[in-house]
Each structure stands twice: as C-alpha cells, then as structure tokens.
Amino acid sequence: MIPGMGAVATTLIAGVEAVRRGFAKPIGSMSQMGTIRLGKRTDDNTPLIKDWAPIADLNDIVFTGWDIFGGNLYDAAKTAGVLDRDQLESMRPFLESIEPMPAVFDQRWVKRLSPKTQKVGKNKCDLANQIRNDIAEFKSKTDRQVMIWCGSTEIYIEPKPVHMTLEAFEKGLVDNDEDIAPSMLYAWACLKEGIPFANGAPNLTVDIPALQELSKKMNAPICGKDFKTGQTFIKTVLAPAFKTRQLGVAGWYSTNILGNRDGEVLDDPDNFKTKEVSKLGVLEHIFQPEKNPDLYGDIFHKVRINYYPPRGDNKEGWDNIDIFGWLGYPMQIKVDFLCRDSILAAPLALDLCLFMDLAARTPALRGLGIQEWLSFYFKDPDTAPGVYPEHDLFIQSMKLKNTLRHIMGEDLITHLGLEYYGD
Ligand SMILES: NC(=O)c1ccc[n+]([C@@H]2O[C@H](COP(=O)([O-])OP(=O)(O)OC[C@H]3O[C@@H](n4cnc5c(N)ncnc54)[C@H](O)[C@@H]3O)[C@@H](O)[C@H]2O)c1
C-alpha cells in the first residue's frame, strides 16, 4: 500500500511486473539478487537470500495506494518519465488496472502541488479513519499488508507536544491539530491496523514518540526514513573509507540538479529543509568530530538541491571533497554521479516491503517496533532512544545479513576467523 504513486512507486510497480514477466532482472535489490554466506568460508554455502529466507514471492505481491492526481498508473508512469515508452506500453493493461485512491492531502505540507482529487472529512480523525477503511477493504482481499510512503517530502517540523504521547496524538486528530501532517494520518491508520510502515521520504512521520508507542503496542514494525539512493549512498561509502584510513576532511560540498516532480517540491525552502536535515546528518555520525577533532573538527559540510527541469528524473550529483593526509597535506576528490533517481529507489522500496513483512512475521522482531537492521536503506535510520545510528553502508549491510541469520537460527558472522588457523 503506497501513499504517493509518483516516480518511485510507478517504477517499483512496473519493475516488479517486468521481472514477473521475465522482461528484466531485479537489479539493485538485495532481497532478489543478494546472496548470504552461511557458516565458514570453507563451507561454500552461499544461497540467494530469496531462496533461503521466507520472504514473499514477487508473484504474490498486489499493489494499491493513494494519490492526488487521479488517473491510473500508466498515466502516472508516463508523467514520471522514468521508464521507456515501449517498456510501459508492453505493460499498459496491468498499469491501467491500478488506480490510486483519493489521498489525504493538505497543501500547507507540500506547497508546490495542487490536488485534482482528495478526501474530505470533518477533521483529521475522520480523514485518518477513511484511510483505515481503505486499508480494511484491501485487507479483505489480501493475506498480509505493508505500507510504504512514497509521497512527496513534507515541510520541515520539529516534534511538538501533540507528538509526544499516543493519547495526545489521538486527541490532536479530533482537535485538528495543525502539527499533524498527512503522512502521520496514513502512518497512524496503518499502525492501528497492525501493519508495518516504512517511510521513503525524509518527513518526521513515525519518528515521534506517539507513533513509536503505537508501533510497539500493535506489534507493527517501523524503520527509518528517506531512501539512501544517490549522493548519500556514495557519501556513506566514501566517508567510512577516509575515517578508517585516518584521513582528515576539511570540507564536503554536495550539489544536485534534478528536474522531476520531487525536485519541484524540494524547490520550496520549507520542503528542502526536511531533505537537508536528513542529508546532513550522515557525516556527523560517521566522522564523530568530537572524538576525532584533528581530522574532522572543522569540517564544512554543505548540501544543495537545484530544480532543473531538463534533466527530469536523471539527477546529477556533484561532490567536491577536500581531504588532507600525512602532515596535513591537502588533496581533493570529485565525484560526478549521473544517476537515475527512481531506478535507484525502486529496488530499495521493494526490499523494504519484503523485509518489513518478514519482520512482522518474526516474533522476536515485531514487538521491538523500530527495525534498526533496515538502516541499510535509509539516509536517516531509526534507532532506540539514546542510540546513535550506524550510517556506514557496510556496517549496515553486515547488520542486515546478521539479522537475517539470527532470524533463521544460523551462526552470526563476526569476521574473527580464528577457526581457520587452529590445529
Ligand atoms: N527517488 C529517489 O532517489 C528518492 C530518494 C530518497 C527519497 N525520495 C523521496 O521519495 C518520495 C517520492 O519521490 P518521487 O520521485 O516518486 O516523487 P513524485 O513527486 O514523483 O511522487 C510523489 C507523489 O506523492 C504524491 N503525494 C503528495 N502528497 C501526498 C499525500 N498526502 N497523499 C498521497 N500522495 C501524495 C504526489 O502527488 C506525487 O504523485 C519523495 O518524498 C522523495 O523525496 C526519493
């Protein structure tokens, strides 16, 4: 169930259908293409994750969702302009068969979009209950459900008193509290139905005590926010490399041009702020400047996103990194990533749905609420209060695979490796 059926959602759905029909491979998806080592390196036991872990089969997935544009997913995918026309044409009847339900929307939260269709209700409680009704209807036709927010980035807000307890939040729904965002209404409805919720955007959404409380109460897993796709993906590969070699960083300037609807929404300063906070956090946690002041104490970190329509979904992200080495001698690294935003995001959305569904079926995980093992997918992973997030992509990947081993009752892999050298 996908609130927000734009570029990422249509690329995910058309992509899953293309894979099901044998037109293409699910490249970029750990759940579909990834392998996992079991036992010792000498055991030669490395199955595909999808053949070993009890994750749902792609053939069993059914999609639904909400948007403000009306029409069907063929039209939405054409507007998004990510996939080739020929490829879309070959799946046209399938895509035309999915029509987003009218969304809960409020322009205060996404200023650059004007809805063609949206739900109306007497207050936020009424609107959230309309979403619950949609969910209940979908539940009656399916065995298990997962919700993933692929909607636009909402404006930046800090947690307020209404977000602090479930009781205050539910009162706020009835009182139409202005600090309850549309994404929170979907999340509340979803968790209330005991369904896992993942967030592909950087909105606050479930990162508030009220919804974390509801997640635990309903055994409905939640995880981090904002897909880690382009520049931040590369950043969380390079930064740990500098850190592990004890190379200093004086500055990291990141800028992007993109021309899709996401770029248009982020062109508004309040919406950009939400993205900026999510993107800026990673270096702070990886470099730990307070523990490594000589190397990272004076780092200047800047992130810009510029809306540039000619590029559409094909984002270009530049990074200029000023590093320094032995005796403080400066060096530079330039990265120019000509990426495709939704092509990178779609496999992450797929994996999240499959792994969140697995978490919901795993007694040892579902009661935890936050699924930190899925940090791998996020710019801004969720963690228990007082625990700093791991942003290093390879720590995240190890954590994900060890959690899968744990779920399946396999030995964890620590990379100690002494067993190979005994008698
Ligand atoms: N593509 C990436 O690489 C990437 C990476 C990280 C995060 N994201 C985030 O994922 C989200 C989706 O990106 P996209 O490129 O698909 O954007 P998009 O603009 O193509 O799609 C977003 C859709 O959400 C809809 N929407 C907005 N508010 C809604 C609401 N309240 N209810 C239902 N629908 C609503 C819009 O109408 C639009 O169709 C964005 O927030 C983006 O920042 C994308």
- ∠70-307-345 over CA atoms, to 5°? 60
Cα distance between residue 234 and residue 9, in whole Å: 23
Say if ligand 1 is within 6 A of residue 146 CB. Answer: no
In this prediction, residues 134-149 reach a mean pLDDT of 98
CA-182 nearest atom, ligand 1: 31
Helices (H), 91-148: 92-96, 124-139
Pocket-testing residue among 109, 257, 262, ligand 1, by greatest number of atoms within 8 A of Cβ: 262
Q: Quick one: pLDDT at residue 174?
A: 97
Instruction: Report the C-alpha gap between 348 and 351 in whole angstroms.
Output: 5
Residue-level pLDDT at 258: 87
**In sequence order, which residues have a C-beta less than 8 Å from that of residue 250 and are 6 or more positions away?**
298, 299, 300, 322, 323, 324, 330
Exposed/middle/buried for residue 68 (C-beta within 10 Å: 0-12, 13-18, 19+): buried
Whether 226 lines ligand 1, by a CB cut-off of 6 Å, is yes
pLDDT above 90 (res 313): no
- Residue 203 CB–ligand 1 contact under 6 Å: no
Task: For residue 135, give both structure tokens.
Answer: 């969910």
| CA 7 to ligand 1 centroid distance, Å | 7
Give the C-alpha distances (Å, rounded to integers) separating 323 from 240, 247, 294, 327.
Answer: 13, 7, 12, 12
Q: What confidence category does residue 263 fall into, taking pLDDT thresholds of 50, 70 and 90?
A: confident
| Arithmetic mean of pLDDT, 70-90 | 94
SS3 263: helix
Instruction: Calculate the CA dihedral of residues 271, 194, 373, 59 and round it to 10 degrees.
Output: -90
Binned at pLDDT 50, 70 and 90, residue 422 comes out as: confident
Range 186-212 average pLDDT: 97
Q: Could you tell me if the CB of 344 is within 6 A of ligand 1?
A: yes
Task: Report the percentage of the chain scoring pLDDT > 90.
Answer: 88
Q: Atom 38 (ligand 1): residue with closest C-alpha?
A: 6
pLDDT at residue 275 in the model: 76
Query: What are the CA-CA distances from residue 271 to residues 88, 202, 265, 277, 283 (Å)?
Result: 31, 10, 7, 11, 21
Distance CA 342, CA 87 (A): 15
**Rounded distance from Cα 287 to ligand 1 centre (Å):** 30
Angle between helices 166-174 and 182-192 (to 10 degrees): 120
316 SS3 class: strand
Q: What spacing in Å lies between the alpha carbon of 273 and ligand 1's midpoint? A: 16
Copy the structure tokens of residue 130. 């309309």
313, 339 Cβ separation under 8 angstroms: no
Q: Which of 150, 203, 315 to mutate to test the pocket of ligand 1 (most atoms within 8 A of CB)?
A: 150
The pair of three-digit structure tokens given for residue 10, joined into one six-digit string? 């249509």
Return the number of other C-beta atoms located less than 10 Å from residue 241's C-beta. Answer: 11
State which H helix or E strand residue 226 sits in. strand 222-227
Report the pLDDT value the prediction gives residue 270, as an integer from 0 to 100.
87
State if residue 380 touches ligand 1 by the CB under 6 angstroms criterion. Answer: no
Residues 345 and 323: beta-carbon distance below 8 Å: no
CB distance 392 to ligand 1 below 6 Å: no
β-bridge pairing 222-227 and 378-380: antiparallel
Q: Which two tokens stand for residue 186?
A: 């979907």
What value does the mean pLDDT of the chain take? 95
The token duo for 17 is: 């259908």
In the predicted structure, residue 130 carries a pLDDT above the cut 80: yes
pTM: 0.96
| C-beta 201 within 6 A of ligand 1 | yes
Nearest ligand 1 atom, CA 11: 16
How many alpha carbons fall within 13 Å on the CB side of residue 44? 0
Confidence band for 280, pLDDT divided at 50, 70 and 90: confident
- Confirm or reject: Cβ of 32 under 6 Å from ligand 1: no
Q: How confident is the model at residue 194 (pLDDT cuts 50, 70, 90)?
A: very high
| pLDDT at residue 190 in the model | 98
- The response to whether residue 389 sits with its C-beta less than 6 Å from ligand 1 reads no
Beta-carbon-side half-sphere exposure of residue 186 (alpha carbons within 13 Å) = 31
Q: How far is the CA of 67 from the centre of ligand 1 (A)?
A: 10
Please say if the pLDDT value at position 355 is more than 90. Answer: yes
What value does the mean pLDDT take over residues 221-242? 95
Among the residue ranges 70-79, 303-312, 368-377, the one predicted with the least confidence is 303-312
pLDDT value of residue 184: 98
Q: How far apart are CA 69 and CA 241, in angstroms?
A: 44
pLDDT at 259 over 90: no
Say if ligand 1 is within 6 A of residue 232 CB. no
- Is residue 227 in contact with ligand 1, taking CB distance under 6 Å? yes
CB 86 within 8 A of CB 69: no
Residue minimizing CA distance to atom 39 of ligand 1:
6
- pLDDT tens digits along 85-110: 999 999 999 999 999 999 999 999 99
Does 232 score more than 80 pLDDT? yes
